[in-house]
Amino acid sequence: MRVDDACQAFLAQHQASLARMDLLVGMLAHARRAFGAVEVEQLEPQVIATWRASLPPATRWQATQALAQVTAWAARWQLVATDPMSRVANPRPARTEFTPLDDWEQVAAIAAQLPHHLALLPWIGAGCGLRPGELLGLCWDCVDLDRGELTVRRSVWRGELRSSLKTRRSRRVVPLRRAVAEQLAQAARPRSGLVFATARGTPLDLHNLRARAWRPALERAGIEPARRLYDLRHTYATWSLRAGVSIFQLARRMGTSVDMIDTTYGHLAADAGDHERRLLDAWDRA
């Protein structure tokens, strides 16, 4: 079985969200360009390792992992005798450092420098922890000010509004803290139903948003060092842990796994034991 055929067969039976499938197809394209006509069993670990080293650092781990998924699947179903990727090391990249915002004053400063129709972006991002695509896919029918809740049901991927989210955990309910609820209550609601939309009522393009609105707003607001749009989500996680929210509960609110929260943010929960001890002592005294 050729690598190209194996990739095609694997994708045909693999089940994942549209966003994940798009990512997987993109990552496998690297291997298909390099090894598409090669028989899977003829792939040599040394050749694969050299190919891996030639990939851009930003895609190296994911592209190699995608190929490993295909060859492991082919071996498991006995479509090939051996899995050549089983002997190829693919260490995870070092955790990307992030810098959360300091406080709500910085959130307000950024909001003041954004176009009016985007002013809610930093408030919801830092206050609810949505991914960038989820922010752009947020509709007003998911905002319940009476119950004080925001429901994550949709996301924007490559300019399209989709109801399929990154993972099954991504569909979730997030409590609206007062700072965010007050901003939402004052906001106008466009006919499109989207909280963030173009003048035509269509979903925003994430790349254009970052380049034309987000980065200039940070510069005008004097926010240094510059923060990525995704750092709003990191801000939510950081503030939640500092407030004493458990890693388990935070994982639910952010639509991810406990392991991912622990790996990415666990070092921020250094005082979590003290907070837990105070809760237990208060319970004992009640």
Q: Domain residues of the chain, as ranges?
A: 3-87, 104-275
Mean pLDDT, residues 38-44: 95
The pLDDT of residue 167: 60
**Tens of pLDDT along 97-141?**
788 999 999 999 999 999 999 999 999 999 999 999 999 999 999
**pLDDT tier, 85 (very low <50, low <70, confident <90, very high otherwise):** very high
Find residue 174's DSSP bridge partners.
Answer: 150
The pLDDT of residue 269: 58
Mean pLDDT, residues 154-173: 78
The pLDDT of residue 120: 98
Q: Which CATH class is domain 104-275?
A: mainly alpha
Instruction: For residue 239, give Cα distances in angstroms to 16, 65, 84, 104.
Output: 31, 32, 44, 11
The pLDDT of residue 276: 66
**Tens of pLDDT along 239-268?**
998 888 888 999 999 999 888 888 888 766
Least confident stretch, 30-34, 65-69, 74-78, 158-162: 158-162
**Tens of pLDDT along 184-238?**
999 988 888 999 999 999 999 999 999 999 999 999 999 999 999 999 999 999 9
Percent of the chain clearing pLDDT 90 (strictly above): 71
Say what the pTM is: 0.74
3-87 and 104-275: identical CATH topology: no
The pLDDT of residue 46: 94
CA distance 127 to 116: 19
The pLDDT of residue 161: 84
Give the best-scoring range by mean pLDDT among 16-20, 60-64, 161-165. 60-64
**pLDDT tier, 17 (very low <50, low <70, confident <90, very high otherwise):** confident
Q: Is the pLDDT of residue 18 over 60?
A: yes
Domain 3-87 has CATH 3.30.70.2740: no
The answer to whether 195 and 120 have CB atoms below 8 angstroms apart is yes
Q: Is the pLDDT of residue 270 over 60?
A: no
**Buried residues in 155-183 as b, exposed as e (16+ CB within 10 A):** bbbeeebbeebbeeebebebebbeebbeb
